[in-house]
Structure 1
């Protein structure tokens, strides 16, 4: 009787563990399932930043940018009227990619500005009036605006996405409201207690997503996600820039990492990496497979328990015969 009770408890625990494990596995794959990340070394930026010739191998620096080789690339210092930028020497040719960079915006006092930007543009970045970068650009700009000029009802710092067609100017008068495709507020980003990070995920024809990490270490918060994002120029350079006006702050970049996204699932092999966030056939196959292996394991456990129980009965029977023979 005790054995049956133990067996029942064992199966209950096994069933609970199996369902929980399958659910956790599916949860892990909700964002970009069946994707391999291939590092693109030609866009890597990390300490000591400079090489033997006192230049970066993969990036050019300009304006008021300062490099502290053990810590950061400082696009602007906490001084008024500064502009700084860095730009990749090679274009980003990957169709689908992920950009992760670690940065910090900090300064003294309660008033600060103006902000920084990330660029994916046809031309290599040069200094300009839009967060230290060019106006009338062609490509995508993601702006981290730290000072509110004229945008009621929005909490700053504010992060927004703009698509440039080569002719349209950034609207400073309303903090880019008329240019915005998507955006989010990021209260606490300035003078955060930790180094902050941004992750930009771009899958051509499917989505563009921006995530932030500034509230807690290793915890990503989605800023925005848009479907069918604008196409990038055939040659798109990755750049960063920053600007201070009458108000100022430090804009530091600590590290840049770029990964090419490649499909690993056989059904997607050799095809464009699109619709990966909701591929019905792949997800259905994955879920069916998870349940299949769950029942296989359950069957093996049941078989082992059955033969164990048979052996237990045989042992009890032999024990009884031995005891009878003694008397």
Structure 2
């Protein structure tokens, strides 16, 4: 006995809904570039920061750094002439990684300084004159500079990246102008204004790119703003994640609230810009030094195009299913 149309109707509707949702999920998976994020516990921390024996299993700190287990790790207090550091005990083992830092820079008065740094360097746990850590480092430094020395035409606070090779010295007198790979102004990244804490996120693909994003704006506290994206950068084979800060004649509290790190397992690698040459050999990736600071920009336009494409594909699947169902119902009626 053939099943009735009434019994097939709900089943067909369920199939149509499943097909539409499946198409949407497939589009979303492709949009995410098939990147799986694996937590890196040895490169992360959050309150209460210390173990039961009042030590940290994965990090160590020094100089003027103090730990308030229920609130923050304070690299410097709002006092003159302080420096502090915090470094991971084990090196970063991931080739592709993402580090998200929640922090707060604040203090009394209208003048403040000097700033804080995030490190991925061969050296670790060494105090010095570059935002509280050593100069002539080998690796990557990302600086949140809150005091302007001699850099005309630049709005401070300023966020910038520098690559060191153990022999290049940081140009402190000119706020790193000669050392900068890329950077952006970030007015509002320090202070007690909303949001109460700020965030910075570093995303690194081995020898491909480094992207730095910020979350600090009062009118959109949960929105990530791209600061810059570099071309290929090669980190040392052994590099340690670290943080440091410094005060001089001017001062600030430099507080770390949490650090969340992930290994980025790339199933489908992002476009590196390297195409094959005519002889079949891989062409060398272009040596792009920096990407201009342009919040939203091309990324925002691309997001809208992708959004409309998903709507069109979703509609095609649904309309196609409806037409098929209508034809099936018409053929059933013609038999009887």
| Structure 2 CA distance for aligned equivalents of residues 76 and 141 of structure 1 | 18
- Between the aligned partners of 1:296 and 1:29, the Cα distance in structure 2 is 17
Count residues with an aligned counterpart.
279
Distance 1:110 1:220 in 2: 27
Find 1:198's aligned residue among 183, 200, 207. Answer: 200
Local SS of the residue matching 2:110? coil
Q: How does 1:67-86 map to 2 (within 5 A)?
A: 67-86=67-86
- Structure 1 segments, 4+ long, off by >6 Å, are 276-279, 289-293
Q: Which one of 246, 249, 255 corresponds to residue 249 of structure 2?
A: 246
Gaps of 5+ in 2: 1-15, 276-305
Contact in 2 for aligned 1:198/1:212 (Cα 8 Å):
yes
Deviation at 1:298, TM superposition (A): 2.5
Tell me which of 299, 304, 313 is aligned to 2:325.
304
Larger fraction in helix:
1
Query: What is the match of residue 3 of structure 1?
Result: none
Structure-2 change in CA distance of 1:80 and 1:29 (3 Å): farther
- Unaligned 5+ segments in structure 1 are 1-13, 280-285, 315-327
Change (3 A) 1:47 1:276: farther
**Is 2:203 aligned against 1:207?**
no
Tell me, yes or no, if the aligned pair for 2:62 and 2:125 is still in contact at 8 Å.
no
Pairing 1:57–2:61 present:
no
- Quote the residue 2:266 is aligned against: 263
Matches of 2:198 and 2:95, distance apart in 1:
26
Contact 1:115 1:131 in 2 (8 A): yes
* CA deviations over 1:256-299 (Å, ceiling 9, x no partner): 011001123xxx4xxxx4527999xxxxxx99x97877644432
Would you say 1:275 and 2:271 are equivalent positions? Answer: yes
Matches of 1:196 and 1:277, distance apart in 2 = 32
CA distances 1:139-168 after superposition (whole Å, capped 9, x unpaired):
000011000000010000001100001011
After TM superposition, the score normalised by the length of structure 2 is 0.76
Q: Distance in 2 between matches of 1:42 and 1:147?
A: 32
2:224 counterpart of 1:228? no
CA distance in 2, matches of 1:178, 1:101: 26
Please, what TM-score do these two structures have when normalized by structure 1? Answer: 0.78
Determine the structure 2 residue equivalent to 1:116. Answer: 116
